[in-house]
Structure 1
Amino acid sequence: MEADDTRAWIEFGVTFVLFVLSLLTALNSIGNWFILPFAIVATTATALRIYMIQHDCLHRAFFASNRMNDILGTLISPIAMTPYQATRYIHNQHHAHVADLDRRDTFEIYVMTLKEWEASSGFRRLWYRLYRSPVTLILVGPFVFWVILRRLPLAGFKTGIWDLVVHNLLFVAMNYAIWLYAGWPGIAVWAAAVYIACAGGALIPYCVHNFENVHWGVKPGLDFETAALEGSSVLDWGRAFDLVTMNIAYHDLHHLYAKIPGYKLKAAHQALEAEDLIQSEKIGFIDSLKCLRWKLYDEDNLKMVPFPKGRVLVPASEDA
């Protein structure tokens, strides 16, 4: 199921118009607390969908033309809050090393194994506890990451500094336009929409790669198909969620073949399910929230586990 340019333009056009209308409604509703919260949520939803469109462009899957994917991915980067070429490099590394314990540096969220935890110092355990807390991973970290750290990702020095320059100029121009239109209250409204998108957006990669029965391994024993299909889940969060996120929930198939555009991903997944060619780990919304308890990967039992209860003593070495 390859890209359909007509469908892609319709998907983008409708999404972008709704984003502009939602943002303008929010900016014009400052002080009106009956309308403003709903307008902010609508801005968040449409901005998140634009982020998902850029995600398709990263894989050069949204349009048939690589050049058009790159152009649109760059132009919408200030709304998506992420520079295009640097993010494309980082994200492709993630796809190349999904479920690989030797390349956990390519994942959005770091995972420590149970054996590593048991061998760690108290300070490292404390650091990891703080890092894996919902406050860090959902409420604080994502906003800091996208608003501050994404302005100058280190990968940008590999992929080209001018992409970062163009992105940040567009980012400043967009925020300046909002300031001219509505002043600092307008910036606060946009920041609120970005914050909600960051928090919600962070929960997605967490749940699709941090569920209880997720598969992790090491190469060469870890093959690509197993890593893609068993290292990712499907989020069964309803049709509205699929619409807003352009079907990114069907993540196992996306990792198996990233060239399927998001607007065709759900249909492709359902077709494979009907033929019994794909069996997915499906996670409902409530069970997804429960995934936040999984902290460590148990290599012996091949599953995610919570932090051990009580203090685990590290055995002394034989030479001690």
Structure 2
Amino acid sequence: MLQGKQLILATKPFAKEIRSLSWFHTLSTFFLLVLSFVAVLIFKPLILKLIFSILTGLIIVRMFVIVHDYFHKTILKGSLLAEVIFTFWGLYILVPKSIWSRSHDYHHVNNSKLYTSSIGSFPIVTKEKFLKSSKTERLYYLFIRHPLTIALGYFSAFMYGMCIQSLLTSPKKHWDSAVSLMLHFGIGFLIYYNFGWINFMFAFLLPALISSALGAYLFYAQHNFPDATFKEKEGWTYVSAALNSSSYMKMNPIMHWFTANIGYHHIHHLNHNIPFYRLPEVFENFPELQNPGVTSLSIKDIIACLKLKVWDSEKQKMVGLK
């Protein structure tokens, strides 16, 4: 069985994009997104608007994961057209490149380290530290990890966390956060002005709420699941963090498509240079990667993940507070 650096090196042949496939997935997803968006606008029955609104939200998630791969320089590196498409899309969905790259790159090299893993992810503290914290600190910590905060990720994770907070903290460094907010709400206003409030709700707001809620939960459950492990800086290794602190999220083929295979998150953390469309291929080829910590989008597993609040150093696992 391959371990450590040997395992990473063994995946290297898969860490090469197939350029034509990268373009196919990008352009076909964008095409389907436009079709779904137009369908929301042209169909009159509210039930059809609702169906295509939900579909639009799910395709936005897929497009976001593809953007995520591009920001990793995994696909379409050096393409000016790709830079224009993905930068624009990132700005529209409230994921400006500067803050995303800084926080997400940090997350990848500090995944599952106690006390530093909260940058680019949800905060995690030990049970001991939580109990010693002030009431205000505990309330703030629980608020960030609250199911409603995650469900309202459009406001909490993306609008505030990605854009407003970064802009307030470092406006010169993250000026594109202001551009993102203006572009996002500018497009929303144009939809409202030209097509009315019903189409604003179904073509703009509901897809944003759906995609952000699913995106925020994926962020959460990728590293907050019952079998996840966390380490102090001592004893932490990159490979162990990938395989033991990053989940494999079981989904049906349709949801794997909508989430662009981000459910194979342990493999993504092992080698982020593997394009999203090759992650299942890696999973099938390496027995070492077929027994990760598992979760899913079932109600049971979602509840199990959301109940986790702190790291219990004695039990060496995530636990709730009761």
Q: Do the structures match in fold with TM over 0.5?
A: yes
Q: Deviation of residue 280 (structure 1)? A: 1.1
Q: Bigger shift: 19-28 or 280-289? A: 280-289
Q: Deviation of residue 186 (structure 1)? A: 2.6
Which residue identity lines up with residue 125 of structure 1 in the other structure? Answer: R
Q: Bigger shift: 166-175 or 86-95? A: 166-175
Aligned pairs for 1:126-275 (under 5 A) are: 126-138=139-151, 140-154=152-166, 157=170, 160-161=173-174, 163-164=176-177, 166-168=179-181, 170-189=183-202, 190-273=204-287
Q: Establish whether residue 57 from structure 1 lines up as the match of residue 45 from structure 2.
A: no
Identity %: 24
Distance, in Å, in 1 between the alignment partners of 2:174 and 2:312 is: 40
Q: Residues 268-292 of structure 1: CA distance to partner in whole angstroms, max 9, x if unpaired?
A: 122113xx45531122333431211
Aligned residue pairs, count: 304
Q: Deviation of residue 56 (structure 1)? A: 0.6
Q: Bigger shift: 147-156 or 18-27? A: 147-156
Q: Deviation of residue 23 (structure 1)? A: 0.9
Q: 1:125 aligns with which of 135, 138, 145?
A: 138
Q: Bigger shift: 104-113 or 121-130? A: 121-130
Q: Residues 226-256 of structure 1: CA distance to partner in whole angstroms, max 9, x if unpaired?
A: 1111110100021111100110000011011
Distance, in Å, in 1 between the alignment partners of 2:307 and 2:81 is: 41
TM-score with structure 1 length normalisation? 0.86
Q: Which runs of 5+ in 1 are unaligned?
A: 309-320
Which residue identity lines up with residue 146 of structure 1 in the other structure? Answer: F
Which residue identity lines up with residue 22 of structure 2 in the other structure? Answer: A
Q: Residues 108-149 of structure 1: CA distance to partner in whole angstroms, max 9, x if unpaired?
A: 2111211112223344334433433212222x3443432344
Which residue identity lines up with residue 184 of structure 2 in the other structure? Answer: F
Distance, in Å, in 2 between the alignment partners of 1:165 and 1:218 is: 36
Q: Deviation of residue 57 (structure 1)? A: 1.0
Which residue identity lines up with residue 321 of structure 2 in the other structure? Answer: F
Q: Secondary structure at the match of 1:105?
A: coil
Aligned pairs for 1:8-157 (under 5 A) are: 8-29=22-43, 32-65=45-78, 70-138=83-151, 140-154=152-166, 157=170
Q: Is the 8 A contact 1:4 1:64 kept in 2?
A: no
Q: Residues 68-123 of structure 1: CA distance to partner in whole angstroms, max 9, x if unpaired?
A: 65443202124432112221111111111100113133142111211112223344
RMSD: 2.4
Q: Secondary structure at the match of 2:311?
A: strand
Distance 1:177 1:267, change over 3 A: farther
Distance 1:51 1:117, change over 3 A: same
Distance, in Å, in 1 between the alignment partners of 2:143 and 2:178 is: 33
Q: Secondary structure at the match of 1:297?
A: strand
Distance 1:8 1:177, change over 3 A: farther
Q: Is the 8 A contact 2:154 2:208 kept in 1?
A: no
Q: Secondary structure at the match of 1:102?
A: coil
Match for residue 321 of structure 2? Answer: 307
Distance, in Å, in 2 between the alignment partners of 1:126 and 1:64 is: 43
Q: Secondary structure at the match of 1:283?
A: strand
Q: Is the 8 A contact 2:127 2:313 kept in 1?
A: yes
Q: Which runs of 5+ in 2 are unaligned?
A: 1-13
Which residue identity lines up with residue 159 of structure 2 in the other structure? Answer: V
Match for residue 7 of structure 2? Answer: none
Q: Residues 139-188 of structure 1: CA distance to partner in whole angstroms, max 9, x if unpaired?
A: x3443432344334527848845544554454355334423441333322
Q: Deviation of residue 223 (structure 1)? A: 0.9
TM-score with structure 2 length normalisation? 0.85
Q: Which has the larger radius of gyration?
A: 1
Which residue identity lines up with residue 151 of structure 1 in the other structure? Answer: C
Q: Is the 8 A contact 2:54 2:206 kept in 1?
A: no
Distance 1:267 1:103, change over 3 A: same
